[in-house]
A and B are shown apart, each in its own frame.
Chain A
Amino acid sequence: MFKFSEEQIERYSRQIILPQVGGRGQRKIRQASVLIVGAGGLGSPCAFYLGAAGVGKIGLVDSDEVELSNLSRQILHFSPDVGREKVYSAKEKLNKLNPDVEVVAYSEKVSSENIMSLINDYDIVVDGSDNFPTRYLVNDACVMTNKPLSHGAILQFNGQIFTILPGKGPCYRCLFAEPPPPGEIPNCQQAGVIGAVAGVVGAIQANEVLKIILNQGKLLVGHLLIIDLLGMEFRKVKISKNKDCAMCGDSPSIKNLIDYEQFCGIRR
Protein backbone atom coordinates (compact mmCIF):
# COMPACT_ATOMS: atom_id res chain seq x y z
CA MET A 1 0.00 0.00 0.00
CA PHE A 2 1.12 3.54 -0.74
CA LYS A 3 2.89 5.23 2.17
CA PHE A 4 3.05 9.00 2.54
CA SER A 5 6.36 10.64 3.41
CA GLU A 6 6.67 13.03 6.36
CA GLU A 7 6.69 15.89 3.91
CA GLN A 8 3.51 14.70 2.23
CA ILE A 9 1.77 14.26 5.56
CA GLU A 10 2.67 17.84 6.40
CA ARG A 11 1.59 19.10 2.96
CA TYR A 12 -1.85 17.52 3.29
CA SER A 13 -2.16 17.89 7.07
CA ARG A 14 -5.03 20.41 6.97
CA GLN A 15 -7.18 18.04 5.01
CA ILE A 16 -5.99 14.83 6.66
CA ILE A 17 -7.23 16.15 10.02
CA LEU A 18 -10.75 16.38 8.59
CA PRO A 19 -12.90 13.46 9.70
CA GLN A 20 -14.14 13.17 6.11
CA VAL A 21 -10.59 12.69 4.81
CA GLY A 22 -8.08 11.19 7.22
CA GLY A 23 -5.18 9.01 6.07
CA ARG A 24 -7.54 6.71 4.19
CA GLY A 25 -9.18 9.54 2.33
CA GLN A 26 -5.84 11.07 1.45
CA ARG A 27 -4.79 7.72 0.01
CA LYS A 28 -7.98 7.64 -2.07
CA ILE A 29 -7.18 11.13 -3.35
CA ARG A 30 -3.63 9.97 -4.15
CA GLN A 31 -4.98 7.00 -6.10
CA ALA A 32 -7.59 8.98 -8.04
CA SER A 33 -7.28 10.15 -11.62
CA VAL A 34 -9.26 13.06 -13.04
CA LEU A 35 -9.52 14.25 -16.64
CA ILE A 36 -10.24 17.95 -17.04
CA VAL A 37 -11.64 19.01 -20.40
CA GLY A 38 -10.54 22.59 -21.00
CA ALA A 39 -7.54 24.29 -19.36
CA GLY A 40 -9.25 27.67 -19.22
CA GLY A 41 -11.54 29.58 -16.88
CA LEU A 42 -13.05 26.56 -15.15
CA GLY A 43 -10.21 24.11 -15.73
CA SER A 44 -7.67 26.44 -14.10
CA PRO A 45 -9.15 26.72 -10.59
CA CYS A 46 -10.38 23.15 -10.70
CA ALA A 47 -6.96 21.75 -11.66
CA PHE A 48 -5.19 23.96 -9.11
CA TYR A 49 -7.35 22.73 -6.23
CA LEU A 50 -7.29 19.09 -7.29
CA GLY A 51 -3.54 19.27 -7.78
CA ALA A 52 -3.04 20.99 -4.45
CA ALA A 53 -5.21 18.37 -2.76
CA GLY A 54 -2.90 15.66 -4.07
CA VAL A 55 -4.99 13.95 -6.76
CA GLY A 56 -2.62 11.30 -8.15
CA LYS A 57 -3.12 11.91 -11.84
CA ILE A 58 -4.64 14.87 -13.62
CA GLY A 59 -5.18 14.88 -17.38
CA LEU A 60 -5.75 18.17 -19.19
CA VAL A 61 -7.21 18.36 -22.68
CA ASP A 62 -7.19 21.59 -24.66
CA SER A 63 -6.03 22.49 -28.15
CA ASP A 64 -5.80 26.26 -27.62
CA GLU A 65 -2.86 28.52 -27.10
CA VAL A 66 -2.78 31.10 -24.31
CA GLU A 67 -4.04 34.52 -25.40
CA LEU A 68 -3.71 37.81 -23.59
CA SER A 69 -7.49 38.01 -23.17
CA ASN A 70 -7.43 34.68 -21.27
CA LEU A 71 -5.35 36.02 -18.40
CA SER A 72 -8.21 37.85 -16.68
CA ARG A 73 -9.57 34.50 -15.50
CA GLN A 74 -7.51 31.51 -16.65
CA ILE A 75 -5.25 31.57 -13.63
CA LEU A 76 -3.08 28.62 -14.68
CA HIS A 77 -1.53 30.87 -17.32
CA PHE A 78 0.79 33.83 -16.70
CA SER A 79 1.80 36.74 -18.92
CA PRO A 80 4.97 35.06 -20.32
CA ASP A 81 2.80 32.11 -21.41
CA VAL A 82 0.96 34.04 -24.13
CA GLY A 83 1.35 32.02 -27.33
CA ARG A 84 2.16 28.73 -25.55
CA GLU A 85 -0.08 25.73 -25.74
CA LYS A 86 -2.38 25.90 -22.74
CA VAL A 87 -1.92 22.33 -21.58
CA TYR A 88 1.88 22.69 -21.32
CA SER A 89 1.60 26.03 -19.53
CA ALA A 90 -0.87 24.36 -17.15
CA LYS A 91 1.28 21.29 -16.60
CA GLU A 92 4.27 23.44 -15.66
CA LYS A 93 2.28 25.33 -13.00
CA LEU A 94 0.73 22.21 -11.54
CA ASN A 95 4.10 20.44 -11.39
CA LYS A 96 5.53 23.40 -9.50
CA LEU A 97 2.57 23.52 -7.15
CA ASN A 98 2.69 19.84 -6.31
CA PRO A 99 5.37 17.47 -7.62
CA ASP A 100 3.37 14.51 -6.25
CA VAL A 101 0.84 14.87 -9.04
CA GLU A 102 1.30 13.23 -12.42
CA VAL A 103 0.02 15.74 -14.96
CA VAL A 104 -0.74 14.51 -18.46
CA ALA A 105 -1.13 17.14 -21.19
CA TYR A 106 -3.23 16.43 -24.27
CA SER A 107 -2.90 19.28 -26.73
CA GLU A 108 -5.80 18.19 -28.86
CA LYS A 109 -9.38 19.02 -29.64
CA VAL A 110 -11.96 16.73 -28.12
CA SER A 111 -14.01 14.86 -30.73
CA SER A 112 -15.94 11.62 -31.14
CA GLU A 113 -12.68 10.13 -32.44
CA ASN A 114 -10.58 10.63 -29.31
CA ILE A 115 -12.98 11.16 -26.38
CA MET A 116 -13.28 7.48 -25.48
CA SER A 117 -9.55 6.88 -25.40
CA LEU A 118 -9.06 10.10 -23.44
CA ILE A 119 -11.51 9.29 -20.66
CA ASN A 120 -10.56 5.62 -20.59
CA ASP A 121 -7.55 6.20 -18.32
CA TYR A 122 -9.43 8.30 -15.75
CA ASP A 123 -11.88 7.70 -12.91
CA ILE A 124 -13.68 11.03 -13.06
CA VAL A 125 -14.20 13.69 -15.73
CA VAL A 126 -14.56 17.46 -15.30
CA ASP A 127 -16.21 19.48 -18.05
CA GLY A 128 -14.70 22.94 -18.23
CA SER A 129 -15.17 23.35 -21.97
CA ASP A 130 -16.59 26.42 -23.65
CA ASN A 131 -19.07 25.12 -26.19
CA PHE A 132 -22.19 23.00 -26.50
CA PRO A 133 -20.87 20.34 -28.93
CA THR A 134 -18.08 19.40 -26.49
CA ARG A 135 -20.44 19.43 -23.52
CA TYR A 136 -22.88 17.01 -25.16
CA LEU A 137 -20.03 14.81 -26.41
CA VAL A 138 -18.44 14.62 -22.95
CA ASN A 139 -21.80 13.87 -21.34
CA ASP A 140 -22.62 11.12 -23.81
CA ALA A 141 -19.18 9.52 -23.53
CA CYS A 142 -19.37 9.57 -19.71
CA VAL A 143 -22.85 8.01 -19.71
CA MET A 144 -21.67 5.31 -22.15
CA THR A 145 -18.65 4.47 -20.00
CA ASN A 146 -20.30 5.03 -16.62
CA LYS A 147 -17.83 7.75 -15.54
CA PRO A 148 -18.77 10.38 -12.98
CA LEU A 149 -18.81 13.84 -14.56
CA SER A 150 -18.76 17.30 -13.03
CA HIS A 151 -20.51 19.80 -15.26
CA GLY A 152 -19.85 23.51 -14.85
CA ALA A 153 -20.71 26.44 -17.11
CA ILE A 154 -20.41 30.19 -16.79
CA LEU A 155 -21.69 33.32 -18.48
CA GLN A 156 -21.25 36.90 -17.28
CA PHE A 157 -21.97 36.74 -13.51
CA ASN A 158 -23.83 33.42 -13.75
CA GLY A 159 -22.86 29.83 -13.26
CA GLN A 160 -24.47 26.39 -13.47
CA ILE A 161 -23.01 23.35 -11.75
CA PHE A 162 -24.29 19.79 -11.79
CA THR A 163 -22.78 16.37 -11.03
CA ILE A 164 -23.60 13.36 -13.15
CA LEU A 165 -23.30 9.81 -11.81
CA PRO A 166 -24.43 7.72 -14.79
CA GLY A 167 -27.03 5.13 -13.86
CA LYS A 168 -27.62 6.78 -10.48
CA GLY A 169 -28.94 10.18 -11.50
CA PRO A 170 -29.90 12.38 -14.43
CA CYS A 171 -27.44 13.26 -17.18
CA TYR A 172 -26.94 16.56 -19.02
CA ARG A 173 -29.42 15.49 -21.69
CA CYS A 174 -32.05 14.82 -19.00
CA LEU A 175 -31.59 18.48 -18.09
CA PHE A 176 -31.31 19.99 -21.57
CA ALA A 177 -32.37 17.51 -24.24
CA GLU A 178 -30.56 19.18 -27.13
CA PRO A 179 -28.05 21.95 -27.73
CA PRO A 180 -29.46 25.31 -28.80
CA PRO A 181 -29.24 26.30 -32.45
CA PRO A 182 -26.28 28.44 -33.53
CA GLY A 183 -26.18 31.93 -32.07
CA GLU A 184 -29.10 31.41 -29.70
CA ILE A 185 -27.09 31.60 -26.47
CA PRO A 186 -24.07 33.91 -26.40
CA ASN A 187 -20.76 32.61 -25.07
CA CYS A 188 -18.23 34.29 -22.80
CA GLN A 189 -16.34 35.69 -25.76
CA GLN A 190 -19.47 37.46 -26.97
CA ALA A 191 -21.19 38.27 -23.68
CA GLY A 192 -18.29 38.46 -21.26
CA VAL A 193 -17.55 36.84 -17.92
CA ILE A 194 -15.99 37.80 -14.62
CA GLY A 195 -12.90 35.80 -13.71
CA ALA A 196 -13.98 35.32 -10.11
CA VAL A 197 -17.19 33.66 -11.35
CA ALA A 198 -15.06 31.10 -13.19
CA GLY A 199 -13.09 30.71 -9.96
CA VAL A 200 -16.18 30.01 -7.86
CA VAL A 201 -17.63 27.51 -10.33
CA GLY A 202 -14.31 25.73 -10.99
CA ALA A 203 -13.68 25.49 -7.23
CA ILE A 204 -17.13 23.99 -6.67
CA GLN A 205 -16.39 21.45 -9.39
CA ALA A 206 -13.11 20.52 -7.65
CA ASN A 207 -15.00 20.15 -4.38
CA GLU A 208 -17.56 17.87 -6.04
CA VAL A 209 -14.76 15.72 -7.48
CA LEU A 210 -13.12 15.38 -4.06
CA LYS A 211 -16.49 14.37 -2.54
CA ILE A 212 -16.88 11.71 -5.24
CA ILE A 213 -13.37 10.41 -4.53
CA LEU A 214 -13.99 10.40 -0.77
CA ASN A 215 -17.57 9.19 -1.03
CA GLN A 216 -18.58 11.96 1.37
CA GLY A 217 -21.29 14.56 1.62
CA LYS A 218 -24.12 15.47 -0.70
CA LEU A 219 -23.32 15.71 -4.38
CA LEU A 220 -25.09 17.90 -6.93
CA VAL A 221 -26.67 14.76 -8.35
CA GLY A 222 -30.25 15.45 -9.39
CA HIS A 223 -29.80 19.13 -8.64
CA LEU A 224 -28.60 22.03 -10.74
CA LEU A 225 -26.88 24.70 -8.68
CA ILE A 226 -27.52 28.06 -10.27
CA ILE A 227 -25.41 30.93 -9.07
CA ASP A 228 -25.90 34.60 -9.73
CA LEU A 229 -22.95 36.47 -8.31
CA LEU A 230 -24.38 39.85 -9.32
CA GLY A 231 -27.64 39.37 -7.41
CA MET A 232 -25.61 37.19 -4.99
CA GLU A 233 -27.97 34.26 -5.04
CA PHE A 234 -27.26 30.54 -4.95
CA ARG A 235 -30.23 28.34 -5.83
CA LYS A 236 -30.70 24.65 -6.41
CA VAL A 237 -33.36 23.36 -8.77
CA LYS A 238 -34.34 19.74 -9.06
CA ILE A 239 -33.31 17.70 -12.08
CA SER A 240 -35.17 14.45 -12.55
CA LYS A 241 -34.02 11.50 -14.57
CA ASN A 242 -35.95 11.88 -17.82
CA LYS A 243 -37.44 8.59 -19.00
CA ASP A 244 -37.49 10.07 -22.52
CA CYS A 245 -33.79 11.03 -22.35
CA ALA A 246 -32.13 10.11 -25.66
CA MET A 247 -29.01 9.08 -23.76
CA CYS A 248 -30.03 7.43 -20.49
CA GLY A 249 -33.83 7.13 -20.73
CA ASP A 250 -35.97 4.00 -21.02
CA SER A 251 -35.26 3.54 -24.72
CA PRO A 252 -32.24 5.63 -25.60
CA SER A 253 -32.06 6.67 -29.25
CA ILE A 254 -28.41 7.78 -29.17
CA LYS A 255 -26.13 4.82 -29.73
CA ASN A 256 -23.11 6.59 -31.15
CA LEU A 257 -21.24 9.73 -30.23
CA ILE A 258 -22.35 12.86 -32.05
CA ASP A 259 -20.09 15.64 -33.28
CA TYR A 260 -22.45 18.59 -33.33
CA GLU A 261 -21.36 21.30 -35.69
CA GLN A 262 -19.05 23.79 -34.03
CA PHE A 263 -21.17 26.86 -33.84
CA CYS A 264 -20.54 28.42 -30.48
CA GLY A 265 -19.02 31.83 -30.91
CA ILE A 266 -16.26 32.70 -33.27
CA ARG A 267 -13.97 29.71 -33.51
CA ARG A 268 -10.32 30.49 -33.66
Chain B
Amino acid sequence: MTVKVRIPTPLQKLTEDKAEIEVEACSVAELVEILDEKFKGLKERICEDNGKIRRFINIYVNNEDIRFLENERTKLEDKDEVSIIPAIAGGR
Protein backbone atom coordinates (compact mmCIF):
# COMPACT_ATOMS: atom_id res chain seq x y z
CA MET B 1 0.00 0.00 0.00
CA THR B 2 1.49 3.33 -1.01
CA VAL B 3 0.29 6.15 1.18
CA LYS B 4 1.10 9.83 1.26
CA VAL B 5 2.27 11.18 4.62
CA ARG B 6 2.17 14.85 5.51
CA ILE B 7 4.95 15.84 7.88
CA PRO B 8 4.26 18.86 10.12
CA THR B 9 6.67 21.78 10.12
CA PRO B 10 8.19 21.05 13.57
CA LEU B 11 9.25 17.56 12.38
CA GLN B 12 10.54 18.49 8.95
CA LYS B 13 14.04 18.98 10.32
CA LEU B 14 14.14 15.20 10.66
CA THR B 15 12.80 14.55 7.15
CA GLU B 16 15.35 16.63 5.25
CA ASP B 17 12.73 19.43 5.04
CA LYS B 18 10.31 17.20 3.16
CA ALA B 19 6.67 18.08 3.83
CA GLU B 20 5.28 15.03 2.02
CA ILE B 21 6.63 11.51 1.87
CA GLU B 22 5.34 8.43 0.08
CA VAL B 23 5.56 5.27 2.16
CA GLU B 24 4.62 1.63 1.63
CA ALA B 25 2.81 0.48 4.77
CA CYS B 26 -0.24 -1.57 5.77
CA SER B 27 -0.95 0.03 9.14
CA VAL B 28 -0.16 3.21 11.04
CA ALA B 29 2.20 1.33 13.37
CA GLU B 30 4.13 -0.03 10.40
CA LEU B 31 4.17 3.40 8.80
CA VAL B 32 5.82 4.90 11.89
CA GLU B 33 8.46 2.13 11.88
CA ILE B 34 9.25 2.66 8.20
CA LEU B 35 9.44 6.43 8.64
CA ASP B 36 11.83 5.92 11.56
CA GLU B 37 14.06 3.66 9.45
CA LYS B 38 14.26 6.36 6.79
CA PHE B 39 14.49 9.28 9.18
CA LYS B 40 16.14 8.30 12.43
CA GLY B 41 14.53 9.76 15.54
CA LEU B 42 11.12 10.40 14.02
CA LYS B 43 9.41 7.67 16.03
CA GLU B 44 10.51 9.01 19.39
CA ARG B 45 9.08 12.40 18.44
CA ILE B 46 5.71 10.85 17.53
CA CYS B 47 5.40 8.00 20.03
CA GLU B 48 5.83 7.39 23.73
CA ASP B 49 8.29 4.70 24.84
CA ASN B 50 5.42 2.19 24.84
CA GLY B 51 4.73 2.88 21.16
CA LYS B 52 1.51 4.84 21.73
CA ILE B 53 1.05 8.10 19.84
CA ARG B 54 1.91 11.02 22.11
CA ARG B 55 -1.01 12.91 23.58
CA PHE B 56 -0.28 16.25 21.90
CA ILE B 57 0.01 14.69 18.44
CA ASN B 58 -2.83 13.33 16.34
CA ILE B 59 -2.61 11.17 13.27
CA TYR B 60 -5.32 11.40 10.67
CA VAL B 61 -6.01 8.92 7.89
CA ASN B 62 -8.02 10.71 5.22
CA ASN B 63 -9.08 13.35 7.75
CA GLU B 64 -10.26 10.80 10.32
CA ASP B 65 -8.52 10.75 13.71
CA ILE B 66 -7.02 7.28 14.28
CA ARG B 67 -8.02 7.45 17.96
CA PHE B 68 -11.58 6.95 16.72
CA LEU B 69 -10.54 4.26 14.23
CA GLU B 70 -8.20 1.55 15.49
CA ASN B 71 -5.40 3.71 16.88
CA GLU B 72 -1.94 2.51 15.83
CA ARG B 73 -3.52 -0.64 14.37
CA THR B 74 -5.54 1.40 11.86
CA LYS B 75 -5.18 -0.24 8.45
CA LEU B 76 -3.97 1.73 5.48
CA GLU B 77 -5.24 1.44 1.92
CA ASP B 78 -3.54 2.37 -1.30
CA LYS B 79 -3.56 6.17 -1.87
CA ASP B 80 -4.60 6.94 1.70
CA GLU B 81 -3.45 10.31 2.97
CA VAL B 82 -1.93 10.33 6.41
CA SER B 83 -1.41 13.58 8.32
CA ILE B 84 0.62 13.99 11.47
CA ILE B 85 -0.72 17.00 13.35
CA PRO B 86 0.93 18.28 16.53
CA ALA B 87 -0.59 20.93 18.76
CA ILE B 88 0.85 24.38 18.11
CA ALA B 89 0.46 27.33 20.44
CA GLY B 90 1.78 30.47 18.74
CA GLY B 91 -0.40 33.55 18.66
CA ARG B 92 1.64 36.64 19.32
Contact = CB atoms under 8 A, between A and B. Distances in A.
A38 B9 contact: no
Given A185-B86, A186-B10, A237-B63, A38 B91 contact: yes
B65 to A, nearest CB: 6
Interface stretch (A6-14, A106-114, A171-179, A207-215): A171-179
Given A158-B9, A180-B56, A130 B89 contact: yes
B44 to A, nearest CB: 11
Interface residues of A, number: 48
Interface string A255-268: 00000000010000
A167 to B, nearest CB: 19
A198 B91 CA distance: 7
B9 A191 contact: yes
Contacts of B56: 176-180, 184-185
25 contacts: A40-B92, A41-B92, A43-B91, A70-B92, A127-B91, A128-B91, A129-B89, A130-B91, A131-B89, A132-B89, A153-B89, A153-B90, A155-B9, A155-B10, A175-B58, A176-B58, A177-B55, A180-B86, A180-B87, A185-B86, A224-B85, A231-B19, A237-B63, A238-B64, A238-B65
Interface of B: 8-10, 19, 45, 54-58, 60, 63-65, 67-68, 83, 85-92
